Structure 1
């Protein structure tokens, strides 16, 4: 029941954050928006861990990994994904981000020497075919000046960076570092890093933005960052990155529904094909071979029993 609640919270929140990000684009520089987001999140996280009197003292090596967590999971990945949504609808960006599942499995193999099951290659092929189908009109007219193709490349780059951050989180869990403590340090380092970047760059630190910007900002900071990451990293710790990655299969469904309702996202033939292939490929990757065999065995038995003698 605890894992189910964590799944549900993560899917609903992260599925809706893609639409909320749309309200962050245009009025305020992306770097500044991310600084605001993680500064708010860091303040809330530290207030909570201090109130709970959780242990916060770690080795210098651990702080190095907290800095990597900040860079990969709370900084660079979001910066690139925000850029991607300048070219893509929230639905398309979330579907591209679902490739995180495949990247997590490959990186788990590379960093933690965990073998890759044969079915994963087939699931990965379907996922790649799905992405190709979604962006087929742009691929046919291959041109880096094409907005959708640029958005896809940015979304996949940000997804890969996020996968590296997931590996850092797994390492921290193996070191018995609490999810809340690791997130608190990571968000603090992220806010400090983004503040330094804003100070040395020529972007303007502005507060002049419509109310929709501030509402979406607080939603992203409180729910999309503090609560969702706590739920997801708890899943990583409790059941491992492969099973926790089921949320990646489900939250694009939420994002696509919201994009269809509020952004006027239009479904084309290649959209149906690509979305189906991505979901089916991810489901195959996440379903153990024994469960697949058991499913077909039960189906064959049912068919035989229904045939009159």
Structure 2
């Protein structure tokens, strides 16, 4: 039951967080919006751990800091910029290919073998991605869409690298909750430094929609969402936890259709279907036939 609840929470939270990102875009600069998000998330998470008496200092800081760069700062700079160029639901679909990035990065970093199933899944997924953006990239060659896909792919790569670093944290005894709490704080500090260096104006958010989206992304999307996902990885492994990427893009696309007016085309339908199939191929292992023979 615990695994089921973690999986369901991850799917619902991550499926709905993309539209919340779209609601944050506008008058407040991207860097400032992401800073608000993770500064608030870090305060909530660290304060919660203090009240529960569970706040600890990481035994190894370098992996926590590296995780902060990959999961709580630079990757979201990519995702927010992507959402400003293409519908949020499409960004989530690109992000769903994180399992392919994970397989490649695990090969490069941990020397894990890439199975033929992963190669097939990758080819299917990439084919689906091409069809999903066929009209934007080929029929009318929309440069904004091309830049949006590039930003989304960059964010997904950073997220995948963050997954690799999370494995390092676990191996040295730093739990996902502790790594997230301090990582979000470090991420907020990095974002503040970028704001100061780039002379980005710090704009105070206005409007109920922005504040609601900020609260949702900070507390639910960041504190709860990342915790449930990394706890799910810790309980069942990254392969099974990756099934969440099969489901949540469908929720994100539904919300994008309702709130952003995303218009479906025939190639988009086929593209999404292929990406879902690619994820299923990635995570579904073929059953081996068991043969029994009578004893001699």
Contact persistence 1:104–1:242 (CA under 8 A)? no
2-structure distance, mates of 1:243, 1:208: 39
Distance 2:105 2:253 in 1: 27
Gaps of 5+ in 2: 291-296
Q: Which residue of 1 aligns with 2:198?
A: 201
| TM-score, normalising length: structure 1 | 0.90
Aligned-partner SS, 1:92: helix
1:56-102 per-residue CA deviation (whole Å, 9 max, x = no partner) reads 2334xx21111111100000000011000111101111111111111
Please say if 1:184 is aligned against 2:185. no
Post-superposition shift, 1:189?
0.4
Structure 1 residue 142 displacement after superposition: 8.3
Contact 2:39 2:184 in 1 (8 A): yes
How do 1:1-309 and structure 2 match up within 5 A? 1-54=1-54, 56-59=56-59, 62-140=60-138, 146-290=143-287
- CA deviation after TM superposition for structure 1 residue 138, in Å: 3.1
Give 1:208 deviation, angstroms: 4.2
Give TM-score scaled by structure 2 length.
0.94
Alpha-carbon distance in 1 for matches of 2:140, 2:165: 35
C-alpha separation between the residues in 1 aligned to 2:126 and 2:24? 29
Aligned match of 1:306: none
How much does 1:117 deviate? 2.0
SS class of match (2:261): coil
Deviations 1:27-61 (A, max 9, x none): 100100011000100001111121222252334xx
Shift of 1:24: 0.8
Displacement of 1:289 after TM fit? Answer: 2.1
Task: Decide whether the 8 Å contact of 1:105 with 1:242 is kept in 2.
Answer: no
- Total equivalences in the alignment: 290
Distance 1:208 1:50 in 2: 28
Runs of 4 or more above 6 Å deviation: none
Shift of 1:110: 2.3
1:297 aligns with: none
Q: CA deviation at 1:179?
A: 1.5
CA contact (8 A) 1:107 1:167 kept: yes
Q: 5+ unaligned residues in a row in structure 1: which ranges?
A: 295-309
